[in-house]
Every structure is written in structure tokens, then in C-alpha cells.
Amino acid sequence: MTADASPAAELIEELVIANKILFRENVVDAFGHISVRHDKDRNKYLMARHLPPGMVTADDIVTFDLDSNALTHQGMAYYSERYIHGEVYKARQDVVSVVHCHARPLIPFGTAKGAKLRPMYHMSGFLAEGVPVFEIREAGGMTDMLIRTPELGKALAACLCDKAVVLMRGHGATMVGNSIRQAVFRAVYSTENASLQMSAHSLAENGEVEFLTAEEGRKADQWGRSTDRAWSLWRHQVTNL
Amino acid sequence: MTADASPAAELIEELVIANKILFRENVVDAFGHISVRHDKDRNKYLMARHLPPGMVTADDIVTFDLDSNALTHQGMAYYSERYIHGEVYKARQDVVSVVHCHARPLIPFGTAKGAKLRPMYHMSGFLAEGVPVFEIREAGGMTDMLIRTPELGKALAACLCDKAVVLMRGHGATMVGNSIRQAVFRAVYSTENASLQMSAHSLAENGEVEFLTAEEGRKADQWGRSTDRAWSLWRHQVTNL
Amino acid sequence: MTADASPAAELIEELVIANKILFRENVVDAFGHISVRHDKDRNKYLMARHLPPGMVTADDIVTFDLDSNALTHQGMAYYSERYIHGEVYKARQDVVSVVHCHARPLIPFGTAKGAKLRPMYHMSGFLAEGVPVFEIREAGGMTDMLIRTPELGKALAACLCDKAVVLMRGHGATMVGNSIRQAVFRAVYSTENASLQMSAHSLAENGEVEFLTAEEGRKADQWGRSTDRAWSLWRHQVTNL
Amino acid sequence: MTADASPAAELIEELVIANKILFRENVVDAFGHISVRHDKDRNKYLMARHLPPGMVTADDIVTFDLDSNALTHQGMAYYSERYIHGEVYKARQDVVSVVHCHARPLIPFGTAKGAKLRPMYHMSGFLAEGVPVFEIREAGGMTDMLIRTPELGKALAACLCDKAVVLMRGHGATMVGNSIRQAVFRAVYSTENASLQMSAHSLAENGEVEFLTAEEGRKADQWGRSTDRAWSLWRHQVTNL
């Protein structure tokens, strides 16, 4: 890789901070990961080597091609599910960042029969376009649930389709965004929405809840300023520990 | 603005502390805001510029007129929902402080059909007078859910009427008080009440709960000493970090 | 008060630590209080002046007679509900310490119709003897819910009877013990039990739960060593902040 | 005990760290314990003396024989339930480490009638083999619920059988592993699974949830790398306080 092709130091720093934020906000624990598309080459992406997100530093950021082969940090361990990232970048030219997590409030929405994650409020308007649930049995039969191959990654990306979030039955969720900040924002607020929605169903007569309509959701998803406002707080929290 | 018209430094400091308390008590996250009526001019109010409440300092406090035009800090970004504050101050001469938030336990009460926030105990007696739910569709049709205009602010203030708290469907809640301390107290304990009430409904046979009566609520809302006791603790916590 | 009659410094220190523990364990917030019977005079008790428990120091510990008149710290503000303590000490010669709190998990058990706090496990065997619910309307009609008078205190003590815990509808709970440590232990684990029980009811088919029997509860309540083990941890946590 | 027979310092350190991790992850509070089989003698095991896990240091690690007699630290207090450990080591040659706890989310699964802990996701595939519930009444009649004798320990070990986890009605749970790390991992993720499962049941239509199949669970339980990844984070957190 030539010097020109190296990712900007600012992008790597943003990715490191994103790792710490996702950990602090309980979106990830020792598991889960976030990647960003390479700023100099759309056919590469950046992601930490096999480490808990809360322990990632700039030195741990590996460059991968879209087949999820490591181009740096040779011989080190990588996340076995890196195919989630590579295959989503192939399928979605609009996507710049991908989060994969096992956030506690989201798991039940991928596992409880008949449950459907829907937008409770303006912070999660991006859910209004629909949240598909990926059933790995359809793509891989009886597995260990992990996206360990390019084929499973492709199947997940196909299920995600043009949406912001895909739930994975018996496993977790994957979110995408047009920037690290948007992907993190969506990860945090789809998790928050899941908490809110569980309470709402248990509170409502007959479980009926008034969600945002498609139009309300679409409009509420258009204010970019809020992503930066949240980021400024989260960044402050993880860099001032 | 002449020197005479400047707000007291103590008031600004109290407002800054209130921002930090609301953040620490999980009433607000990166979003939400608190304002106070100007102590020298009833037709103005004070509120932070566009910042997460947890990051607000005295230098960030803007003076607004009741049409929510900024009179200081020109050219900076302001909360897009400042009309909540200005229009409530116009409509409610008794109100000295306004909180707007998306506190997690409150959202379901504005969104679940048939749910009704009611006083579980003496700490939230102020709920006994009733808690209206604002449906923005009635005032604005299909929106991004935010109170972005004076008209929507007026409609919200009309829905709040003479009450202490108004829930906002698919969005959050707004609380008012005759001081910063009372508004913060009501924000914290309406949130706490929502948590308690959710548990009570799920525990009760047929969901039936014995709430405070109107008279119990009214009486329980009259001991001002408790507001100062809570404030002394909360102030200590955010100023001794 | 003569020097002889002064409480032991160790007792005051234990009471201060108990205040901090109850705060740290989320049994109390800015409200709630703990008292201990005077070690030199059974007709007096010790309790903080009107302060949030988390802020109490040795200098704040007031001596009261059993009518809840302050014998020290004259002219200062005291908890308006101190009659809970005085009247329980009069009625219960076995009681050495009293906790009053509004712990979040306990409130619904005093408020939801048909709910009954019962021992989920060996840590809360003391609940097996039964947990009465105090309805202040029977003793005082429509009030502000507080135990503001000796009469209300007497009525509460009568409802507590010979039990370890009494729930107070629309208000909170009161626990007693034969030492500060036992009262704190019971406060923490009746709160924990309430959390466990709510989950168990929602999980069980038809809400049926297998509680400890009276005999299991009685036996489980007899191991005093556990109180000291918990205290050693809690003390460590609040004195090593 | 000769010098040869002393456990490796690394094993003791790992056990101390495990104590701190279990405390920090809310698997244990002041109560609960973890042991490891002696690395030089399969007929002995190591466990702290009678202390809250969060306060254990290397000096507190006692060597026990499999009848749970202390071979070191004579005359000190030991956990009264140490028979859980000794009898499991006798019955299960494959087991190297045992955790006993009262983790909040697990208790209801041992107590609510008809409830059954089952694997929600790949992190807890080890639950797919089934989770027995130990009813102490069958082995000991009306007790204080504790495993105070070798006989009760044997009965518990028989109930655990060849599984990874056994729930104890009205008491807690016991997990086993082929290393300290695996036992801790199973303790943390069976607790997490319990939280997830409670939400899933309340969310699902008719309470129906799609759990991992036996095959999915078995496969998901085979990736040892994840245990080390979680350990690296948890170790970091408790050694960098």
C-alpha cells in the first residue's frame, strides 16, 4: 500500500472513538465491531483486529479488501464475522460505516415470534422503513449462528436490502450509515427504541402502540445536526475518562 | 442589553447546574433542554445554545425573547425546539422554568394506547391534576415530530393548559415549574413515577393500581422543603465530580 | 445531656455509614432515613437532621426522645416523618434500628391491587412471616401521605405489628432490625426481593411462583454471619470512594 | 503441604481476578463464590475464605480437599456452602472450575412455575443441552435453602448431571467449566441470557420464542477464542480500577 492510499489519521481516530462509544453506551460488550469504508479507496474498509471494542487503539485498525482479506496486520487474529462488513460494502454503495452488535434490548426483537421493531419516536425515524429479520437457517442450515463466510455475509446483506438495520435471529443486529457518526447514532437509538417499545407493549391495552408513520419517520430521519450533537457528547465522555 | 437587564449570575449558575443534574439523573441524554424566565424581564428567557445539556457552561446561556429570537450569542446554533419554551412562558404567567426531555420511562406513556400517567406516590403528587398527551398530527399533520415553529409551540402550550406535565406522542415530555428547582424536581419524579407505574401495572391483578386521589396529590405537592432537599444532593453530585 | 448519656462514637459512625450504604445501594435517594436506638438510653434514638442520607456526617446525628423531640441540634430542621421511628421504638422493644425508604421496586407492591411481597429466596427469608400494607386513609383520611404526627406513627407501628417490613400504600416502606446492620440488610434484600418477584410473576405460567415456605423463611433468617459479610463489603465501598 | 504441591501463583491470580470480574459483572454481590481445581492435585480445590468476592486477594485463597476440609488457613471462616464445589469436583472429572451465585436475572427461572432457561443466542449455546432445576426439598426437606452438608452437595451434583448450569429453586445457580475462564463466561452469559429471555417472553405473541436448537447450541459452544476475548476485557476492567 502506498502512502497515498493510507487512510486519514482523523478517520482512524474517529473509528477508535466510535469503538469506545459503542462500548460505553452498552451497544457492544466484549463482542461486536464497527467498520468504516476506506476514505481513499472505496474497495477497502477499516476495522479493528480481534479485540473487544472497548480496548481498541489506532494501532489496532486493520485495512481489509471487500472480500475481507486483511491487507495490513498480517498474521494477527481478525473478527471471524468480518464478512458482514465486506459484503455489505459490496452490496450497498451508499454505506460508509457498519456496526454489528448483540445489544441486549435488540436480541428479543429478532427472537420473539411476531415481534417487530418499529419507531417509537423521532430519534429512531430510520426504523420506519422497516427492519428485516435475518434467519440464518435459510442461508446456512444449522450453524453456530455466526457469519463466518462470504456466502453468509451476502445473504445477510441481501436481507438488509436498502434498510438501515437488520436483526439477526438468535444472534444480534447490524446497522449501517453514511458515516461513522450516523452508524453509531443508529446503533444507539435502535437499541434505545427497543427498550422503549418493550415497555410500550407491556403498558398498552391489548399491546397496541402508536408508532411513527412512514412519513413521520422519513422526515424525522433528515436532521443531520442531531448526529453531531450526540457525537460531541459521546466523544467527550470517552476521551475525558 | 444594558447591564441592568443582565440576568443574575446566580440564576445562570443555577441553570447550568440544572442542565448537569438532568443529564446525571437520566432525564436528558444528548437531547432535551431546560430554560428559566429572565429574572429582570418577564418577557425574556434564558437557555443554553445548541449543546448537549451535560456540556453546558455559563458562557453558553443565551437570552431569548418570548418569540424565541436570540438576543445574545448571535449567529450561533440554537435548539430548534426553543418555541416550546417561549410559547409556554407566553401562555403561563405562573411558569418560571420549563424542561423538555425524552426520558426513557416517559415515552411509552405518550405512545401506548390507553396508557395514562398517574401519581403512584407522594413524590409525584403534581401528576394528580392530570397529564395531557399532545398529538402533533392534530396541530401539524405529518411532521418530523419536532416543535419547530411558534404555531406548534402554541398548540403544545394549549395542550399543557394549567397542568405541570404534558406528554408528547412519539417524542417526549415537557414539564413546568415555578422555579428551576421545581421544574427539575418534576422532571425527575415524573420520570421515576413512570418507572414505578409500569411495574405496578404488570404486577397488579387485572392491571389495577391504587393511585393517589386528587386531594392526596394536591396535598402532597405542597411541601416545598423537599425540592430544596433533593436539590442539595443533586447539586452536590454534579459539582463534586 | 451528661457525658455519660452520649452515644458511643462507634455507633454514630455505624449510623453514618449506614446512611451512605442505603444511598449507594439505591434504597434511598434524596429521601428516606435510618435511625438507631440510643445505646445508653432505650428511650432515645439517633437519626440525622433533615439531610439527604448520602450527605450525612457524624456532626449531623441528632438525639431524639421517643416522642421524636430533638434533644440536640436545637432549632435545626428535622425529618417531618421522624414519628415513624419514635413510635416503632415505643411499640417494639426488640427493635434497635429502623429504615424508612421509597425504594423503586418496593413501591408497586404497596400500590398494585392484589400484589403481595413474598420471599423469593433465602436472602429474604424474613419476608416469610408476612408483609402488611399500611393504608394511611384508614388512619388519617385524605393526607399528603406522610407520617407527620405521632398518631400516624402509632398507626403505622400497629400495622407493622411484630413483622420485619411494612409497605406503605402510595408512599414507601419501613424495615426494622435488631441492629443497624440487620435493618440495612433487610432494606437491601427486601428491595432486591421485590425486583426478583416482579420478574418471576411475569415469567411464570399464570403468574404462579414457588416462594419459600414459612419454615424455610424462618430458617433462612437465622444466619447472622451473612449480615456481617454484606456489611464488610458495603462499608468498604462507601469508605473507599 | 510440600512446596511441590502448592498451586501455581498464576492460577491463584486468575482466581482472584475471576472473583473481581464476577462482582463487577453483577453475577455475585456480597455472596457467591468461585473455585478452581488444584493444578497439582486433582483431589483438591482452591477457593477464597469467607469473604465477599469483590474483596478477595491472593492471601485469602484456601486449599480444600474434595470433602471440603480446609488444608490451609486453619481456623478461619469458610463459605458454608463449599460442599457445592467439593461434591461437583468428585462427580465431574471434566470440571475444573465452579461458580455459585444468586444473580438477579437467574433467580426467577428457578422459582417461577413452568419457566425454563433456554438459549436465546449464540453466546449461551451451552444452555441448549438443558438446564435442570434443583429442588432442595427433595433432598433435604424444609431447610434454610443452603448446601450446608456433603449430602446436599452430592444431591446438587447429581441434579447438575453432565450439564453446564443448574438452577437452585429459591436460592440461585451453579455453573461449571473446563477452566476458570469458561466458568466465568458461562456465569456471565447465562445471566445475560436470562435477562434476554424474560424480555422475549413478554414481547412475543403468546410468549413463543425461537430458541437455538440443540445443534445450533452445541456448535455455538465450540469457539474457545471468545472466552479469551471476553476475559481480556474483563481482566482489564478489574485490574485498571
Residues of D serving a catalytic function are 81
For residues D187 and D174, give the distance between their C-alpha atoms in angstroms, rounded to a whole number: 8
The residue whose grid cell reads 394511611 is C136
Reported residue count of chain C is 241
3-state secondary structure B180-213: HHHHHHHHHHHHHHHHHHHHHHHHCHHHCECCCC
For residues C185 and C191, give the distance between their C-alpha atoms in angstroms, rounded to a whole number: 10
- B17 has a pLDDT exceeding 60: yes
A114: left (phi over 0), alpha (psi -120 to 50) or beta: left
**Strand C165-168 relative to strand C133-134: parallel, antiparallel, unpaired?**
parallel
C-interface mutation test, from B127, B231, B233, most C Cβ less than 10 A away: B233
Reduced to 3 states, what is the DSSP secondary structure of residue C99? strand
Per-residue confidence (pLDDT) for residue C5, from 0 to 100:
84
Q: Which ipTM did the prediction report?
A: 0.95
Per-residue confidence (pLDDT) for residue A121, from 0 to 100:
97
Give the Cβ contact number of residue A107 at 10 Å: 29
**C76 chain-B contacts, CB cut-off 8 A:** none
Q: What is the pLDDT of residues C1-43, one digit of tens each?
A: 455 689 999 999 999 999 999 999 999 999 999 999 999 999 9
Q: Which amino acid is at D119?
A: P
For residues B27 and B21, give the distance between their C-alpha atoms in angstroms, rounded to a whole number: 9
**Which positions of chain D have pLDDT values less than 50?**
1
Beta partners for residue B18, in sequence order: none
Q: Single out the residue of A171, A173, A175, A135 nearest to residue A155, CA to CA.
A: A135
**Strand B97-101 relative to strand B172-177: parallel, antiparallel, unpaired?**
antiparallel
The rounded percent of chain B whose pLDDT value lies above 90 is 93
Nearest neighbour of D55 by CB, restricted to C206, C225, C232: C232
**A230 chain-B contacts, CB cut-off 8 A:** 29-31, 52
Q: Could you tell me which chains touch chain C, where touching means 3 or more CB pairs under 8 A?
A: B, D
Nearest CA in chain B to A125: B144
Q: Does D26 touch chain A (CB under 8 A)?
A: no
Burial class of residue B62 in the structure, from the number of CB atoms within 10 Å of its CB (0-12 exposed, 13-18 middle, 19+ buried): buried
Distance from CA of D104 to the nearest CA of C (A): 6
Reduced to 3 states, what is the DSSP secondary structure of residue A134? strand
What is the strand order of the sheet B133-134 is part of? B61-65, B44-48, B33-37, B97-101, B172-177, B165-168, B133-134
Mean predicted lDDT score pLDDT of chain C: 96
- A67 has a pLDDT exceeding 60: yes
Q: Does D107 touch chain C (CB under 8 A)?
A: yes
Distance from CA of B186 to the nearest CA of C (A): 14
Q: Does C133 touch chain D (CB under 8 A)?
A: no
Q: What is the mean pLDDT of residues A189-201?
A: 97
Per-residue confidence (pLDDT) for residue D207, from 0 to 100:
77
The H or E element containing residue A233 is: helix A225-239
Per-residue confidence (pLDDT) for residue B12, from 0 to 100:
98
What is the strand order of the sheet C61-65 is part of? C61-65, C44-48, C33-37, C97-101, C172-177, C165-168, C133-134
For residues B90 and B93, give the distance between their C-alpha atoms in angstroms, rounded to a whole number: 7
CB A200 within 8 A of CB B123: no
Q: Quick one: chain A helix, strand, coil %, rounded to 5?
A: 45, 15, 40
CB C146 within 8 A of CB B160: no
For residues D185 and D178, give the distance between their C-alpha atoms in angstroms, rounded to a whole number: 11
Per-residue confidence (pLDDT) for residue D87, from 0 to 100:
98
Burial class of residue B114 in the structure, from the number of CB atoms within 10 Å of its CB (0-12 exposed, 13-18 middle, 19+ buried): exposed
Report CA-CA distances (Å) from B135 to B146, B167, B172.
11, 9, 11
CB B12 within 8 A of CB B39: no
Q: What is the pLDDT of residues A115-169, one digit of tens each?
A: 999 999 999 999 999 999 999 999 999 999 999 999 999 999 999 999 999 999 9
Contact between chains at D50 and C229 (C-beta distance less than 8 A): yes
For residues A48 and A36, give the distance between their C-alpha atoms in angstroms, rounded to a whole number: 10
Q: Single out the residue of D167, D195, D173, D157 nearest to residue D99, CA to CA.
A: D173
* Residues of C (195-234) whose Cβ lies below 8 Å from D: 195-196, 199-206, 208-213, 215-216, 219-220, 222-223, 225-226, 229-230, 232-234
Give the Cβ contact number of residue D80 at 10 Å: 15
Per-residue confidence (pLDDT) for residue D4, from 0 to 100:
61
Contact between chains at B102 and A120 (C-beta distance less than 8 A): no
3-state secondary structure C16-73: HHHHHHHHHCCCCCCCCEEEEECCCCCCEEEEECCCCHHHCCHHHEEEEECCCCECCC
For residues C182 and D205, give the distance between their C-alpha atoms in angstroms, rounded to a whole number: 44
CB A125 within 8 A of CB A212: yes
C-interface mutation test, from B24, B124, B203, B206, most C Cβ less than 10 A away: B203
Q: Does A184 touch chain B (CB under 8 A)?
A: no
Contact between chains at C108 and B220 (C-beta distance less than 8 A): no
Contact between chains at B107 and A122 (C-beta distance less than 8 A): no
Q: Does D102 touch chain C (CB under 8 A)?
A: yes
Per-residue confidence (pLDDT) for residue B4, from 0 to 100:
61
Residue A21 is placed in which grid cell? 462509544
CB B201 within 8 A of CB A203: yes
Q: What is the pLDDT of residues B58-81, one digit of tens each?
A: 999 999 999 999 999 999 999 999
Residues of B serving a catalytic function are 81
Q: What is the mean pLDDT of residues C184-189?
A: 98
Report CA-CA distances (Å) from B221 to A150, B191, C32, C169.
62, 16, 17, 17
Q: Single out the residue of D49, D78, D37 nearest to residue D177, CA to CA.
A: D37
> What are the backbone angles phi and psi of residue B44, rounded to the nearest 5°?
-135, 160
Catalytic residue list contains C129: no
B1 pLDDT band, cuts 50/70/90, is very low
The H or E element containing residue B133 is: strand B133-134
- A207 has a pLDDT exceeding 90: no
Per-residue confidence (pLDDT) for residue D1, from 0 to 100:
46
Q: Does D140 touch chain C (CB under 8 A)?
A: no
Nearest CA in chain A to B104: A196
Q: Could you tell me which chains touch chain A, where touching means 3 or more CB pairs under 8 A?
A: B, D
Q: Which residues contact D74 (CB under 8 A, 6 or more apart)?
A: none
Residue D189 is placed in which grid cell? 452469559
Q: Does B128 touch chain C (CB under 8 A)?
A: no
Q: Single out the residue of D208, D195, B26, B195 nearest to residue A104, CA to CA.
A: D195
For residues A191 and B144, give the distance between their C-alpha atoms in angstroms, rounded to a whole number: 20
Q: Which amino acid is at D192?
A: E
Nearest neighbour of B120 by CB, restricted to C31, C107, C114: C107
For residues A86 and A63, give the distance between their C-alpha atoms in angstroms, rounded to a whole number: 11
Contact between chains at A170 and D216 (C-beta distance less than 8 A): yes
Q: What is the pLDDT of residues A85-123, one digit of tens each?
A: 999 999 999 999 999 999 999 999 999 999 999 999 999
Contact between chains at C109 and B220 (C-beta distance less than 8 A): no
CB A94 within 8 A of CB A102: no
Nearest CA in chain A to D213: A142
C-interface mutation test, from B104, B121, B201, B237, most C Cβ less than 10 A away: B121
DSSP D7: P
Beta partners for residue D168, in sequence order: D134, D172
Q: Compute, in degrees rounded to 10, the torsion defined by CA atoms B147, B150, B151, B156.
A: 50
> What are the backbone angles phi and psi of residue B45, rounded to the nearest 5°?
-140, 165
Contact between chains at B30 and A232 (C-beta distance less than 8 A): yes
Q: How far apart are the first and last CA of chain D?
A: 35
- B84 has a pLDDT exceeding 90: yes
**D222 chain-A contacts, CB cut-off 8 A:** 144
For residues D33 and D27, give the distance between their C-alpha atoms in angstroms, rounded to a whole number: 10
The rounded percent of chain A whose pLDDT value lies above 90 is 93
